[in-house]
Chain A
Amino acid sequence: MDRETELTLVRRLREGDAAAFDAVHAEFHARLFGFLARLSRRRDVAEDLVEETWLRLVGHSARLQADTRLGPWLFTVARNLYVSYCRSRALEDSQASSLLALWPFNPDQSSPFEEAAANELERRVEAALAAMPAGAREVLLLVAVEGLQPSEAAEVCGVTPEALRQRLSRARALLARALEDGEVSGLPIPSEVTP
């Protein structure tokens, strides 16, 4: 989407134009879902969070700045919703720790993307991505998968561009090591978002 089209869509969204909403939805829905699904490693969570992201856009549409960049705006909202979700999960988990022993848990559970991967290489990359710490995973998803500029990804993550570059470099090194070692299938899924 070029900048001129984006600015036009923002103007029409501010006026409450449903056709403009449809255009933005068509452009970003699958991308937001992919970002959230790979970040949370759960389809159901991603579906819920992407729905909330769209409702936030609609609720905020009249107050959008005229020069809003829709991609970074939407990914920032989606990421913030995911962070809130993780916080609420952490709170629930701490309150329900006594019940954890009763909860059916499979440490070898694969992510939905691993199951859908077309070949061995894709499966390994998806598994490596799923096994990475959330901070490293989100920066790789934003820059490498979603194609955001590093400055835009820094805005989404709420860090300086320099901090993002460092984070990206560390994440890249982690991914390379995971793929070289071939240990990815054995890495446990972090507990904060595992059902």
Chain B
Amino acid sequence: MTGDPLLRRLERLPPAGPDAARAERVRTRCHKALARQAAQRPSRPPAKWRRWEPALIGGLCLAYLTEVLHEALHLYGLS
């Protein structure tokens, strides 16, 4: 695409100059919106604790299933 001299003329057009004051106002407005969103987001535990979440849930499930199995065997007089 850049080998085309006609398209290269377009490539060399001067960059646009947006209003700097307005750009700054927009940036500030967006920062406020990001902060608002962060405040509304439910808080989560730190990353190091989140790593243990699946193991904890898995452990609790295993304990529950073991207990169910134990009760079932007890009910039928097999334990």
A residues contacting B by CB (< 8 A) are 16-18, 21-22, 25, 29-31, 33-34, 37-38, 43, 46-47, 50-51, 54-55, 57-59, 61-62, 113, 116-118, 121-122, 125-126, 129, 140-141, 143-145, 147, 150, 172, 175-176, 179
B residues contacting A by CB (< 8 A) are 1, 4, 6-11, 13-19, 22-23, 26-27, 29-31, 33-35, 37-38, 41
Query: Which residue of B has the minimal Cβ distance to A51?
Result: B26
Distance, CA A30 to CA B34, complexed state (A): 21
- Of B9, B13, B14, B38, the residue contacting A16 (CB under 8 A) is B38
Distance, CA A62 to CA B41, complexed state (A): 10
- Of A16, A113, A129, A140, the residue contacting B16 (CB under 8 A) is A113
Contacts A47-B18, A144-B8 known; 7 new A-B pairs at CB < 8 A: A16-B35, A18-B31, A46-B18, A144-B10, A145-B10, A147-B11, A175-B10
For A22, the chain B residues whose CB sits under 8 A away are 27
Query: Which residue of B has the minimal Cβ distance to A175?
Result: B6
Query: Which residue of B has the minimal Cβ distance to A38?
Result: B16
Judge whether A62 and B37 touch: CB under 8 Å: yes
